Amino acid sequence: MRLLMRLLNLRNLSTSNSGGVSDMAMINIVTKAQVYDDNPIYRIDSEFFDTGAMNIDRMIRQIPHFTLEKSRVVSGPFGSSLKSSAYLKVGDVPFIRIVNIKGGFHIDTTNMVYISAFNSSRISNSELVVDDIILSKVGNSIGFFARVDNSLGVCNISENNIGIKLNGLSTVTKHYILVFLNTNIARQLVLRRTSGNAQPKLNVEDVCHIPIPVFSEAFYRQISELVLASEAALKSAKFLYAATEQYLLDSLGFADFIPSDNKITIRGLADSFRASNRIDAEYYQQKYDDVFLRLKNLPCDRLGKVVTIKKSVEPGSDLYGTKGIPFVRVSDLTKFGINDPDIKVPAHLTELRPYKDTILLTKDGSVGIAYKVEKDLDCITSGAVLHLTVKQNGVLPDYLTLVLNSIIVQSQAERDAGGSIIQHWKPSEIGDVIIPILDDDTQKKITTDVQSSFSLRRQSEQLLNFAKQAVEMAIEEGEDIAMKWLGVFTKGKSGGPKA
């Protein structure tokens, strides 16, 4: 890391009297020969000649390294080749979009869509298999590399993604490449290759110019073990969480619940518009009534009586930037955590911060996503995210979060927020959401299992961070030192990293 800081020119930045970095520190003088060096499209923008990234690139090229052949790097199909109308909720081939790879390493299957085997065969050039790698080529998600794991098998990618085919390489080499590409060192090299202003873009050929250091097979094997251990921990976390979701539904009598597909509902004026002030037909679908009929047999309360609801304050897009504290938007939030936000806002803003056990709930766009914060966070959430704090005794935050993410509340969110192009769930409607409340023992079991699942997720992430740290150490300080450090870890001795 010390070497990385030197390469990025962080130690020698001079500062102005105002405390900021001086203009002189941002200037990099290059020769004509350097402009043409490894620059096939002859870029002359200053971003491409960033001092730190150039130093890293030069350092890696001075040691044994390789680059990916053009035949290994493929783009997703043009939009006209496969339209969104071909997407399926259930199908033969998983279709990976940008939303599925944000965060790197693992592919998120939460919002997965599928395509038919026939459609996948039409765009077979972008078909990928286990241990191949996927990355985004547009937007602020550039720089995240995700692995196709065994649960996906053969898959395909959208037009905004790039696939890296690693056939013919050993499994341990594939895992090493994945880890290297997710390091901070590789990220600098990738970002250097991006172009564009408002919409950053990475071309297929750009990926082929990223130098990848060469180390021993033994080192690759150690890295691969961490990748596989991380995958196993994540698999266990997912299994436990799914089992807990099922236990919740069993306990509430919803295990056999199948929403009605009846499209016809007859209502009088008194029990429709006059009662709800809604006249859109979707609001009165039978599937919503079925949920409420079952809830009548359970002890329930309004969400507004269970929690305190606070609105986030939108600071305004004129304050968006790349420096400051993270600004969490709906797209950054999942029920399992917060992805690294692309946008930062000034640190002096005093808007609402999420504290431990606060439940973040989305109300605009993708409505109804709930996540319980596990520790105090120094970030600001967008106006589309509400902060819920449990105030009623007898309701545990982890239990409530699982209920909020269940079909019971999701169906209420779908009903309330429907009827418009962009979904909006009013805070007044959220306060009226019906929450089933189970006995203390059941809530405690659910809480224990949810927390165990999240602990396994943290362990999975920590193992990957160790792998990245080892690769960076091998580049900066040498493979022998990295191997010794890994040896301490794998043998469980004191003084090394701990899982």
The radius of gyration of the chain from alpha carbons, rounded to an integer in Å, stands at 25
Query: Is residue 491 predicted with pLDDT exceeding 80?
Result: no
Q: pTM of the entire structure? A: 0.84
Average pLDDT, the chain: 86
DSSP state of 92: S
The answer to whether 224 and 171 have CB atoms below 8 angstroms apart is yes
Q: Could you tell me how far CA 347 lies from the centroid of its own chain?
A: 23
Q: Could you tell me how far CA 229 lies from the centroid of its own chain?
A: 20
- Alpha-carbon distance of 38 to 191, in angstroms, equals 15
The answer to whether 334 and 369 have CB atoms below 8 angstroms apart is yes
* Tally of CA atoms within 13 A in the half-sphere of 395 that contains its CB: 26
Query: Is residue 49 predicted with pLDDT exceeding 80?
Result: no
Classify the C-alpha dihedral 403-405-408-409 as positive or negative.
positive
Q: What residues are paired with 337 via a beta bridge? A: 334
For 365-422, write each residue's pLDDT tens digit.
899 999 999 999 999 999 999 999 999 999 999 999 999 999 999 999 999 887 677 8
Q: What is the mean pLDDT of residues 41-59?
A: 72
Instruction: Compute CA distances 275 → 267, 284, 380, whole Å.
Output: 11, 12, 37
Q: Which helix (H) or strand (E) holds 4?
A: helix 2-7
Q: What per-residue confidence (pLDDT) applies to 126?
A: 95
For 225-253, write each residue's pLDDT tens digit.
999 999 999 999 999 999 999 999 999 99
For 431-451, write each residue's pLDDT tens digit.
999 999 999 999 999 999 999
For 172-202, write each residue's pLDDT tens digit.
999 999 999 999 999 988 888 787 666 778 8
Q: Which residue type sits at 452?
A: S
| Beta strand residue intervals within 384-459, DSSP E | 385-390, 434-436
For 104-135, write each residue's pLDDT tens digit.
899 988 889 999 999 999 999 999 999 999 99
Q: Could you tell me how far CA 335 lies from the centroid of its own chain?
A: 11
More confident residue, 427 or 260: 427
Residue 354 in tokens = 């999420």
Q: What residues are paired with 435 via a beta bridge? A: 301
Q: Is 187 helix (H, G, I), strand (E, B) or coil?
A: helix
Of 403, 396, 391, the closest CA to residue 441 belongs to 396
- Alpha-carbon distance of 392 to 405, in angstroms, equals 19
For the chain, what percent of residues have pLDDT higher than 90?
A: 58
Q: Per-residue confidence at 68, pLDDT binned at 50, 70, 90?
A: very high
Quickly list DSSP for 466-489: HHHHHHHHHHHH-HHHHHHHHHHH
For the chain, what percent of residues have pLDDT higher than 70?
A: 85
More confident residue, 102 or 71: 71
Residue corresponding to tokens 């873009």:
201
Cβ-proximal residues to 424 (8 Å cutoff; 6+ apart), any chain: 363, 364, 367, 417
Buried b (16+ CB within 10 A) or exposed e, 54-72: bbbbebbeeeeeeebeeeb
For 339-370, write each residue's pLDDT tens digit.
888 888 988 887 778 999 999 999 998 999 99
Q: What per-residue confidence (pLDDT) applies to 16?
A: 35
Cβ-proximal residues to 479 (8 Å cutoff; 6+ apart), any chain: 215, 216, 219
Q: What is the mean pLDDT of residues 74-100?
A: 88
What ranges in 37-123 are assigned the alpha helix state H?
51-61, 117-122
β-strand pairing of 385-390 with 359-362: antiparallel
Query: Is residue 207 predicted with pLDDT exceeding 80?
Result: yes
Q: Is 333 helix (H, G, I), strand (E, B) or coil?
A: strand
The answer to whether 234 and 457 have CB atoms below 8 angstroms apart is yes
The answer to whether 83 and 143 have CB atoms below 8 angstroms apart is no
Q: Is 338 helix (H, G, I), strand (E, B) or coil?
A: strand
Cβ burial of 51 (10 Å; 0-12, 13-18, 19+) is: middle
Cβ-proximal residues to 117 (8 Å cutoff; 6+ apart), any chain: 92, 93
Quickly list DSSP for 237-297: HHHHHHHHHHHHHHHHT-TT------------STTTHHHHS---GGGG-HHHHHHHHHHTT
Q: What per-residue confidence (pLDDT) applies to 57?
A: 86
